[in-house]
A and B are shown apart, each in its own frame.
Chain A
Amino acid sequence: MRLLKLVPENTNIHFLKWQWPTTIISVLLMVASWTLVFTEGLNLGVDFVGGQMIRVTFTQSPTAPVAALRGEIEKLGYGEPVIQTVGSPNAVSIRMRLPHGAESNPGLSDQMVKVIRADLTAHHADARVDGVDSVSGKVSNELGWTAFKALGFAAIAISIYIWFRFEWQFGVGALVSLVHDVSLTMGLFAVTQMEFDLTIVAAILTILGYSLNDTIVVYDRIRENLKKYRRMPMNELLDLSVNETLARTIMVAATMLITLTALLVLGPKVIFGFSAALIVGIVVATYSSIYAAAPMLTWLGVTGQSFVPTETPQDRQERLARGEV
């Protein structure tokens, strides 16, 4: 039996030939992502803005009556609900701001949930309430802040680690490529307006880990080759390193994408957004480990000499003593 090879042996694709077009595309995509995040905004879940979220499944209907629901709930006088389907078309999440004065009197929000629940069952016999989340403004602020801290610290800590293990240029390159990956994932959430909640932060932290993982594998090979082929031109060496690790890069991305697609399609709808974020993140991370991480090194001035140990006066004496020039 012949073994399956996702990438043929001796593949030699000139990736770096495309470094300028891809760089321009990457930069444009990043700018677009952040522009969207700031103009359209993220569809933040109750975890981050506070409020009530009620998850409902309409067990007998193929699709949830979103428009009808919106009208019914608006009539209740608690303000405008945010209603969107979650995972499957017959399941929705209904988000409401906490009623005025609920911070000091929690009974008010309980009352609201009770009224909405009663209204739901009155209008839709097949409505099944799957869950209720209620987050006060105070807790949501904290959650947002801690999530932000976790992301920031993780990015910095990992970059510092890479700086120590490699050279500072590698640390910068890794940081840039991970900012790229995280930005594009945020962009996805701004475009699709999928709900951005705490599990998505977990997804982004994972993408961060994966992005660096991918970058490190390529960097590790670049370092090895830099020591091996000191006179090879930098672009050629980067191409060689990327090609040598390509089989692994594709194989791992494939396995991750297979498991995640299984999770997206077959898994529980509650983690639909989580799986979607990871899928996009992994595709982007794979791309950036080739097109952002590698070229960054040449721009930052990594050369064949970067890993040659600097000669101390003692080394020099020994060398001269051996009779070498």
Chain B
Amino acid sequence: MLDFPVWKRIWVWALTIVVAACSLPTLVTQLGGSWPSQLPNPQVHLGLDLAGGSQLLLEAQPADVAKQRLDTMNETVRTRLREAKPRIRIGDVSTSGGRLSFLLEDASQVDAAREAILPALNGSGSVREWDLQVVDGSRFVLTQTQQGLEQAVTQAMDSATEVVRKRIDALGTREPTIVREGAKRIMVQVPGLQNPQQLKDLLGKTAELQFKLVDTAALQSDIAQGIVPPGDEIVPYAAGTTGAGTSIAVKRLGGIRGDTLTNAQQTNDPQTNEPVVSIQFNGQGADKFGRLTTENVNKPFAIILDGQVLSAPNINEPILGGAAIISGSFTTQSANELAIQLRSGALPVKLTVVDESTVSAELGADSIHKGAIAMLVGTVIIVLLIASAYGRFGIYADLAVIINVLMILGIMAVFGTTLTLPGIAGFVLTIGTAVDANVLINERVREEQRRGRKPFQSVDLGYKEASRTIFDANITHVIAATLMFMFGTGPIKGFAVVLMIGIVTSVFTAVLLTRMWVALWLRRARPATLKI
């Protein structure tokens, strides 16, 4: 075990130096220096608990997605059947219980209706998205398949992540981390952000903008009682607007959606000087908007955001060219917020904050400072203790421990891993286990020498016998760390990462590196006895 040919020595040294050197950019930056920009710059990122900042965990409700799909399917089915030749008339449409069901007026059209609907059931992907059943000859029942819903949720979350990113970027904060977590969650971390309220306001709305014609014929008394006039829907005014507390009836069909915008800006109304949002439709949207306003001059239309009316101005003249103004009792801040939301697009699904945490920058700085001091003090005491217990062998072990710390930092930097507060605790523990390996070896060498073996033999046996124990002991740590990583969230994961990297590097430094040093020394010095 003590044979180290030149190629092996070069290999071990090269690996040690390269990995340890990767920790330099982080150390230099953290100690206040600047790393030359010409050189590669791998950095260990600091977690929010060390850097300060806010973290939000957003969750989507699959039920929302299911409901939306049901509504869309409702529209699609109606359109397809209406456009079928001959037209297929249906009645008794219901979307209760998460299923779409309707009755054909003419039961002989079953095959034609099925023909018309079938293409809509499979969507764009390869999975079947809807199941179709025909009950009692003329009742159609459409149910969402599990795979279809899952796929829809995934797609919704993908685009939601994009929208979240755009909205956060608009805030101008530095380096936000936005990652999907599991099937229906998004984790957002913004370093340096102290008050996440603004962020939550920004992400809390889906920002689905609609323009719908107001049904002027509807009776106010009906609306108040919740009686929906045929072809209409009742929409309440948003809180804080002039009509707050009341509702109006708007025409369900014939409106347009605000998802075809190219720009949205907060400005002030030239006449009233109130904060408003000016929007610009793209070509297609501008055409539609132009047509809608031309056909309905002198009628009011409602501007609806997330199912609430912002305002219902009169169309005084046709609005061509696609530029429009949204008014709705805004403050400058709320108008600006809406502008950002409209620019970044509507969220395909509503997101709620299920977990939130904020750490002040002072606490973060305090943590990293105290953590570093604790680590330094602990390491110095251990280094002295080991050196005084095992002499030369102890000094080798100490060097190995220090190189081990550098190598862990180096590997973390290369993989861009995040160092958290529990991660620092992980470091402390890793130092402990690295020392453990050398203590096992050195105690064994001592024992073998006491039994009367020659130095060379003692060292050889010491490493051989101890290696088995070290292997078994490390496997148990690997098992514990892996499970922490698999099941852990946040703090546990940060701890597990350091522990896992540490296990690998500590075996390398504490077993291989020290063995090489001891072997080379034995060959050179040829001691008669070992002072251990």
Q: Is A271's CB within 8 Å of the partner chain B?
A: yes
Closest residue on chain A to residue B356 by CB atoms? A134
The answer for the CA separation of A135 and B491 in the assembled complex, in Å, is 14
Is A256 touching B469 in the complex (CB atoms < 8 A)? no
Contact (Cβ within 8 A) B385 A270: no
Task: Please tell me which one of the listed residues B357, B373, B443 contacts residue A132 in the complex, with CB atoms under 8 A apart.
Answer: B357
B-side contacts of A106, CB under 8 Å: 200, 204, 352-353
User: Is B473 in contact with A131, judged by CB distance below 8 angstroms?
Assistant: no
Q: Is B480 an interface residue (CB 8 A)?
A: yes
Most buried by A among B354, B390, B422: B354
- A212 an interface residue at 8 Å Cβ cutoff? yes
Task: Specify which of B357, B385, B450 is in contact with A258 (CB 8 Å cutoff).
Answer: B385
The secondary structure that dominates the A interface is helix
Q: Is the CB of B360 within 8 A of A130?
A: yes
In the complex, the answer to whether B389 meets A154 with C-beta atoms within 8 Å is no
Does B523 count as interface, using CB distance less than 8 angstroms?
A: no
A147 on interface, CB distance cutoff 8 Å:
yes
Inter-chain contacts of A57 with B (CB < 8 A): 363
A73 within 8 A of B: no
**Which residues of chain B are within 8 angstroms of A205 by Cβ–Cβ distance?**
480, 483-484, 492
Residues of B in contact, count (CB < 8 Å): 77
Closest partner residue, chain B, to A221 (CB atom): B469
Partner of B439 from the list A110, A251, A278 (CB cut-off 8 Å) is A251
Interface size on A, residues (CB 8 A): 72
* Interface contact A255-B360, CB-CB below 8 Å: no
* Binding-face segment, A33-41, A138-146, A185-193, A232-240: A138-146
Q: A residues 247-261 with Cβ under 8 Å of B?
A: 247-248, 251-252, 254-256, 258-261
CA distance A254 to B447 in the complex (A): 20
Partner of A199, one of B367, B374, B382, B491: B491
Confirm or deny: A325 has a beta carbon within 8 angstroms of a beta carbon on chain B. no
Q: Does A150 contact B (CB under 8 A)?
A: yes
Which residues from chain B contact A268 at a C-beta distance below 8 Å? 366-367, 370-371, 421
Tell me if A274 is interfacial: C-beta within 8 Å of chain B: yes
B472–A216 touching, CB < 8 Å: yes
* B57 touches which of A130, A139, A216, A259 (Cβ 8 Å): A139
A252 to B439, CA, bound (A): 7
Contact A6 B473 (CB under 8 A): no
Which of A13-21, A23-31, A157-165, A300-308 sits within the interface?
A: A157-165
Q: Report Cα–Cα, A266/B378, bound state, in Å.
A: 10
Within the complex, which residue of A114, A251, A256 is in contact with B389, where a contact is CB–CB below 8 Å?
Answer: A251
Q: CB-nearest residue of chain A relative to B485? A: A150
Q: Give A277 to B479 CA distance when docked, in angstroms.
A: 20
Q: Identify whether the interface residues of B are mostly helix, strand, loop, or mixed.
A: helix
B479 to A161, Cβ gap below 8 A? yes
Other-chain residue from B359, B371, B429, B432 in contact with A130 (beta carbon distance below 8 A): B359
Q: Does A209 contact B (CB under 8 A)?
A: yes
**CB of B102 within 8 A of chain A?**
no
B108 lies within 8 A of chain A by Cβ = no
A134-B352 contact given A158-B479, A260-B428, A268-B370, CB 8 Å threshold: no
Decide: A267 near B356, CB < 8 A? Known: A220-B468, A252-B435. Answer: no
Q: Is B358 an interface residue (CB 8 A)?
A: yes
A150-B373 in contact given A139-B355, A198-B492, A206-B480 (Cβ < 8 Å): no
Task: Give the docked Cα–Cα distance between A110 and B374 (Å).
Answer: 36
B440 at the interface (CB under 8 A from A): yes
A4 within 8 A of B: yes
Q: C-beta contact mask, A215-228 vs B, less than 8 Å → 1, else 0? A: 01100100010000
Are A139 and B354 in touch, CB under 8 angstroms? Answer: yes
Inter-chain contacts of B358 with A (CB < 8 A): 131-133
A262-B491 contact, Cβ under 8 Å, with A133-B356, A158-B480, A161-B479:
no
User: Measured between C-beta atoms, what is the minimum distance from A64 to chain B in Å?
Assistant: 15
Minimum C-beta distance from B479 to chain A (A): 5
Give the nearest-CB partner of A152 in chain B.
Answer: B483
Complex: A54 Cα to B74 Cα, angstroms: 47
Residue of B nearest to A252 (CB): B436
Task: Give residues 146-180 of A contacting B (CB, 8 Å).
Answer: 146-147, 149-150, 153-154, 157-158, 161-162, 165
List 16 interface pairs A-B (beta carbons < 8 Å), by A numbering: A4-B388, A110-B200, A130-B359, A131-B358, A133-B357, A153-B483, A154-B479, A161-B475, A161-B476, A206-B429, A206-B480, A213-B476, A248-B439, A255-B431, A263-B374, A274-B425
Residue positions of B touching A, CB distance < 8 A: 49, 57, 59, 197, 200, 204, 352-360, 362-363, 366-367, 370-371, 373-375, 377-379, 381-382, 385-386, 388-391, 421-422, 424-425, 428-429, 431-433, 435-436, 439-440, 443, 446-447, 450, 465, 468-469, 472-473, 475-477, 479-481, 483-484, 486-492, 495-496, 499, 531-532
Residues of A within 8 A of B (CB): 1, 3-6, 9, 55, 57, 106, 110, 114, 128-136, 138-139, 143, 146-147, 149-150, 153-154, 157-158, 161-162, 165, 198-199, 201-202, 205-206, 208-209, 212-213, 216-217, 220, 224, 244-245, 247-248, 251-252, 254-256, 258-263, 265-268, 270-271, 274-275, 278
